[in-house]
């Protein structure tokens, strides 16, 4: 994706997107965060650095002996932080979910356990953190060649979401965008083409989602679709195709047809366009910060910042008197 004059000007006059989010998050109350099994250097150091930056108050849920051994080996000071001793990684996930139910945390953060271990505890039908909303994942992308912050959803949890699931997925992303203070998002419902055709089911679902927004079944964002990726993010491509909308050419949230498409899009932007990709899971009782061992410090901080801003917005909404 070539850098346009508008993008270059935006980069010159505004600090990077993540830096703005992190700076804003430092201005709100730190969120008590249950860090689940941070038993390697990367995850433990990431949690401690987020705490030192004033973003979170970490509670380390892990086998205490193993945790202290990692901290000692890598010279990480964890003496200031509460440790909840558990026997193993599965136990850490289960205990963290139990603590959320008891009101002992506002956020979950993935440590060195596998994502499916953590999400199995979060999504359990009996003891998990499910709500009426479908649980979904959002990549918060900072692409140097694009003037906007980009949300890509869902590229990590829902494999082949149906129309009802997509409604929840897009609403989760819109709610995150608005509640972290980014304004009213422009949402592109992606497909391979920009016209509705029965041969490509995702185009029909895109049209249905737009009509659902018209009827108030999706709120808080401006939707358009189906849009091919180029028409969603490139004003010139949208102009050539004759697409006139508030979204085309300058989308901020990209709803992908399925996990495969979303995963390839996010990784393509990361590897080919050198974009950073922070990650957060929504739709559970609390936001879940998902980080990878490959994440940079800045990306980890951005994941925490987005979650902290979201938690602060939820905290304020919960304290508002009912009308």
Same fold, 29-130+284-323 and 134-279: no
Q: What percent of the chain has pLDDT over 90?
A: 85
- List CB contacts of 15: < 8 A, sequence separation 6 or more: none
Is 60 exceeded by the pLDDT of residue 323? no
**Cβ–Cβ < 8 Å for 286, 263:** no
8 Å CB contact between 105 and 315:
no
> Is domain 29-130+284-323 annotated with CATH 1.20.120.530?
no
Q: Which two tokens stand for residue 81?
A: 């932080």
The string of DSSP letters for 256-291 reads -SSHHHHHHHHHHHHHHS--EEEEEEESBSS-EE--
Question: What does the alpha-carbon distance between residue 46 and residue 60 come to, in Å, rounded to a whole number?
Answer: 12
- Which listed CATH number (3.40.718.10, 3.30.70.870, 3.40.190.10, 3.40.50.300) goes with 134-279? 3.40.718.10
Torsion of CA 218, 312, 156, 284, to 10 degrees: -70
Count Cα neighbours of 219 within 13 Å in the Cβ-side half-sphere. 3
Overall average pLDDT of the 11-18 stretch: 60
Give the pTM. Answer: 0.90
- Strand spans (E) along the chain: 31-36, 56-62, 82-85, 107-110, 136-142, 150-153, 186-190, 222-227, 253-255, 276-282, 288-289
Nearest-5° Cα angle at 268, 264 to 273:
160
Q: Write down the pLDDT at residue 320.
A: 65
**Residue range 104-131: average pLDDT?**
94
Residue 197 pLDDT more than 70? Answer: yes
Ordered by start, the domain boundaries in the chain are: 29-130+284-323, 134-279
Distance of alpha carbon 251 from alpha carbon 234, whole angstroms: 9
Peptide bond into 226 cis (omega under 30): yes
Are β-strands 186-190 and 253-255 bridged in parallel, bridged antiparallel, or unpaired? parallel
The residue-averaged pLDDT of 156-184 equals 96
Task: Tell me the pLDDT tens digit for each residue of 31-42.
Answer: 999 999 999 999
185 and 178 in contact (C-beta within 8 Å)? yes
pLDDT range class, residue 295, cuts 50, 70, 90: confident
Confidence of residue 148 (pLDDT cuts 50, 70, 90): confident
């Amino acid at each position: 994706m070539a850098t346009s004059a508008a993008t270059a000007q935006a980069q010159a006059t505004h600090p990077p997107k993540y830096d703005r989010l992190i700076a804003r998050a430092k201005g709100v109350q730190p969120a008590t965060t249950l860090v689940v099994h941070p038993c390697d250097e990367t995850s433990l150091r990431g949690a401690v650095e987020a705490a030192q930056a004033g973003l979170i108050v970490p509670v380390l849920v892990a086998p205490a002996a193993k945790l202290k051994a990692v901290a000692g080996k890598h010279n990480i000071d964890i003496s200031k932080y509460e440790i909840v001793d558990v026997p193993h990684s599965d136990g850490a996930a289960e205990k963290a979910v139990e603590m959320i139910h008891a009101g002992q945390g506002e956020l979950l953060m993935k440590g060195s356990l596998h994502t499916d271990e953590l999400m199995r505890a979060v999504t359990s039908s009996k003891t998990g953190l499910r709500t009426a909303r479908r649980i979904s994942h959002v990549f918060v992308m900072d692409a140097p060649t694009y003037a906007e912050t980009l949300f890509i959803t869902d590229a990590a949890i829902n494999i082949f979401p149906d129309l009802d699931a997509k409604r929840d997925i897009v609403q989760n992303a819109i709610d995150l965008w608005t509640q972290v203070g980014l304004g009213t998002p422009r949402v592109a419902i992606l497909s391979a083409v920009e016209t509705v055709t029965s041969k490509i089911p995702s185009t029909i679902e895109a049209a249905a989602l737009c009509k659902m927004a018209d009827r108030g079944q999706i709120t808080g964002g401006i939707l358009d679709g189906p849009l091919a990726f180029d028409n969603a993010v490139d004003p010139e491509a949208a102009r050539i195709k004759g697409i006139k909308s508030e979204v085309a050419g300058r989308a901020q949230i990209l709803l992908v047809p399925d996990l495969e498409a979303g995963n390839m899009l996010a990784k393509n932007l990361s590897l080919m366009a050198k974009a950073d990709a922070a990650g957060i899971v929504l739709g559970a009782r609390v936001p879940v910060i998902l980080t990878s061992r490959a994440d940079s410090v800045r990306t980890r901080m951005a994941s925490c910042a987005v979650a902290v801003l979201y938690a602060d917005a939820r905290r304020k909404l919960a304290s508002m008197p009912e009308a």
